[in-house]
């Protein structure tokens, strides 16, 4: 399937229950994400950005609405099928990298491949290629604590792309980095978008990070708008 949007979000509702009371987080959210789009999602803290990202990535469940990815409504999948879909289709990049401290850089990148049918040797080769793609071949045997924040995030990006998913979701990927490291990460994400045609959905507070995106959307009190200052390349 090559034409039309990659992801169609229709009338999403999601609330959390606190002290017996339903707190609405997403209220009638509808929009589309094009194939190969680089989308930045901004908005005040608590506006539901991470919730929306987690629903799109199949980590969290919606109360109602549709999330159609490549023609398939993922809200209809049971837990097993949703987990399978997620491991095949989505790569995750987090603010604090979420690397396993007792595993080397190479072993961290190899981790998502354990769920595939690849042999150990193939897994090693794929992981080494992904580490090379983020410029960290010479750090394969280093543990996360032996790497800078920027390097750890590059390892996390290698881990996110090693299974070759269509979609990358990133929650504040530059939030814990100094400006120089943040720029490196943004350059890398841009390359993944342009060269490998990954569709990227990024939650960010960083205006510089948002500039990197094609489309900018604001979430406020669970409602979504397309920002007037959408960069639109
Ligand atoms: P943002 O990413 O924009 O900061 P979140 O999606 O993290 O916002 O949170 C939106 C709202 O949902 C907040 O009021 C938050 O407290 C609430 N929330 C998020 N996750 C949970 C949860 N697991 N249980 C209860 N409330 C939650």
Residue 153 lies in a domain: yes
**pTM recorded for the entire structure:** 0.93
232 falls within a domain = no
Q: Which of 19, 25, 27 to mutate to test the pocket of ligand 1 (most atoms within 8 A of CB)?
A: 25
pLDDT computed for residue 231 by the predictor: 56
How far apart CA 2 and CA 121 sit, in angstroms, is: 33
Which ligand 1 atom lies nearest to the CA of residue 51?
Answer: 6
Q: What is the pLDDT of residue 224?
A: 79
Domain of residue 16, residue span: 5-224
pLDDT at position 230 is 57
Does some domain include residue 230? Answer: no
Ligand 1 centre to CA of 59 (Å) is 14
200: domain CATH number?
3.40.50.300
* 229 falls within a domain: no
The answer to whether residue 92 sits within a structural domain is yes
To test the ligand 1 pocket, which listed residue (29, 50, 171) has its Cβ within 8 A of the most ligand atoms?
50
Q: Which candidate, 56, 59, 60, 57, places its Cα nearest to that of 16?
A: 60
Tally of domains in the chain: 1
Is 231 part of any domain? no
Quote the strand ranges of 34-186, DSSP E. Answer: 38-42, 64-69, 72-73, 90-93, 167-171
233 lies in some domain: no
Q: Quick check: 55 and 67 in contact, CB under 8 A? A: yes
Residue 119 forms part of a structural domain: yes
pLDDT tens per residue across all 233 residues of the chain: 456 799 999 999 999 999 999 999 999 999 999 999 999 999 999 999 999 999 999 999 999 999 999 999 999 999 999 999 999 999 999 999 999 999 999 999 999 999 888 999 999 999 999 999 999 999 999 999 999 999 999 999 999 999 999 999 999 999 999 999 999 999 999 999 999 999 999 999 999 999 999 999 998 877 777 765 555 44
């Amino acid at each position: 399937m090559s034409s039309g949007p990659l992801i169609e979000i229709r009338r999403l509702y999601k609330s959390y229950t606190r002290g017996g009371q339903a707190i609405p987080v997403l209220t009638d959210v509808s929009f589309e994400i094009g194939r190969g789009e680089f989308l930045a999602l901004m908005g005040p803290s608590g506006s539901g950005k991470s919730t929306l990202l987690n629903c799109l990535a199949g980590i969290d469940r919606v109360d109602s609405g549709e999330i159609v990815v490549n023609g398939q409504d993922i809200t209809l999948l049971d837990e097993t099928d949703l987990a399978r879909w997620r491991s095949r289709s989505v790569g995750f990049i987090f603010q604090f990298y979420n690397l396993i401290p007792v595993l080397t850089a190479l072993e961290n990148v190899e981790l998502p491949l354990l769920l595939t049918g690849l042999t150990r040797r193939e897994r090693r080769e794929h992981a080494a290629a992904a580490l090379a793609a983020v410029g960290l071949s010479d750090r394969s045997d280093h543990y996360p604590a032996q790497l800078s924040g920027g390097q750890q995030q590059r390892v996390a990006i290698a881990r996110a792309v090693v299974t070759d998913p269509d979609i990358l979701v990133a929650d504040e990927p530059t939030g814990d980095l100094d400006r120089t490291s943040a720029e490196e990460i943004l350059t890398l994400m841009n390359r993944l978008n342009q060269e490998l045609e990954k569709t990227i959905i990024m939650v960010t507070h960083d205006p510089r990070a948002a500039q990197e995106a094609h489309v900018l959307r604001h979430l406020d009190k669970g409602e979504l708008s397309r920002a007037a200052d959408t960069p639109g390349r």
